[in-house]
Amino acid sequence: MKYVILSEKEWNKNLSDRLVHDNKNSWLNIRGKEDFNIESLEDIKPDKIFIPHWSYIIPNQIFEKYECIVFHMTDLPFGRGGSPLQNLIERGIYKTKISALRVIEKLDAGDIYLKKDLELYGSAEEIFLRANDVIFEMINEIVGKDLKPYPQKGKSVTFKRRKKEHSSINELNDIVKIYDYIRMLDAEGYPKAYLDFNDIRIEFSRAQLKANKSVIADVRIFKK
């Protein structure tokens, strides 16, 4: 059997290496958007495509021909849509599930293979690394047990994808909220939480919440 791991993120790059211990199957990692196309896949002929983290639309011609399984950081159908980690933490939700689901045309609406628990403590990068371990277990279970997906059940709640301007903490006046904003954006490829003063921007990372309800963080100061 042939399987593809599709992710552009650094924290997912070792998934295919960790999965090669199963010598009955072959695993290929695709990281670049330019390498993920129907022509390349027709050469590979994968039995399944696993997608831990991907920021682009998957073309119909791909998911209609190949079984594409995406991993979404909410208990679907709650939390369909973009920026699930940030939307959850912003709502004060610190425990969630990773849902493995079949890719279809409607976003995050495909049938579910399985779900596993995930805690949302620490920086975004720490959470993504923790999620990578959970996804590793989920892929093994999907392949090992040849799981078949089932329809989603429950009321659908859709998240909106966050934009760079949503990283501003200028209007926040709650210390825990400020801490959550800094940590939930502290990962590769995400716009850092920031404060603006006229033409000066202060970006924050590596936040720690102290017992006296103060926050210690690294800062970067520059002109916008």
- For the ranges 9-13, 31-35, 65-69, the one whose mean pLDDT is highest: 65-69
* CATH 3.40.50.170 for domain 2-159: yes
Q: What does the alpha-carbon distance between residue 122 and residue 193 come to, in Å, rounded to a whole number? A: 15
Residues 6+ apart with CB under 8 A from 151: 111, 112
pLDDT tens, residue by residue, 93-144: 999 999 999 999 999 999 999 999 999 999 999 999 999 999 999 999 999 9
pLDDT digit string (tens) for 143-169?
999 999 999 999 999 999 999 999 999
Domain boundaries, the chain: 2-159, 164-223
Give residue 21's pLDDT: 62
Q: Does 2-159 match 164-223 in CATH topology?
A: no
pTM of the entire predicted model: 0.91
Q: Whose CA is closest to 163, among 196, 195, 190, 197? A: 190
Q: 164-223 domain in CATH 3.10.25.20?
A: yes
